[in-house]
Amino acid sequence: MFWEEKIDLIAKKHGPDGFKNPFTAWPEILKNIEDKFIIRTYDSNWEDNVKQKEELAIIEIKELNTLLSSLPDKNYWLVMMMGDYPTAKRLIYDCNIAALKDLISLSKYDFYIVDKKYNWLTYFKCGTEKITLYKSGITNSPFDIRASG
């Protein structure tokens, strides 16, 4: 099944309140995220250019769903990398927690969850068995509380 077909299934499952594919707004949303959280360089490598990058935690992959379930019940920007190299294409979605989980389960690559008001960004660096969480932003993210507790 192609990526677009999977996205269509997620859209049907979660409806417009739980999942949106803001295709025409991508450039503006990505620019807002980059302006706030990414140091601009000659390439589009976000991984190495997260502003004020701070490691929050290292978790087992099997802990991810529990961690995501602890998020406040609202929608977030989900930026998904479409490859395992730093300059891979990024796709952005407007998701509630259930849609976040479904989308993330479709990929093994790094991803970012961003507050829709651009207060914080959390970068999830995916390894084969563990995920390292990094944050950016002057405001605490919901993952700061989980990582310290």
Q: In terms of pTM, does the model score above 0.75?
A: yes
For position 37, what pLDDT does the model report? 96
How many domains are there within the chain?
Answer: 1
Give me the domain span that covers residue 104. Answer: 3-148
pLDDT in tens, 8-64: 999 999 999 999 998 788 889 999 999 999 998 776 788 889 999 999 999 999 999
* Six token digits for residue 132: 């390292």
- On whether the CB atoms of residues 87 and 38 are closer than 8 A, the answer is no
How far are the Cα atoms of 19, 43, 67, 85, 133 from residue 146, in angstroms, in the given order?
25, 33, 8, 28, 11
What is residue 148's three-state secondary structure? helix
For position 48, what pLDDT does the model report? 87
Helix (H) or strand (E) holding 65: helix 64-69
pLDDT in tens, 62-121: 999 999 999 999 999 999 998 888 778 899 999 999 999 999 999 999 999 999 999 999
Mean of the pLDDT values across residues 113-136?
95
Other Cβ atoms less than 10 A from the Cβ of 98: the count is 16
- On whether the CB atoms of residues 56 and 135 are closer than 8 A, the answer is yes
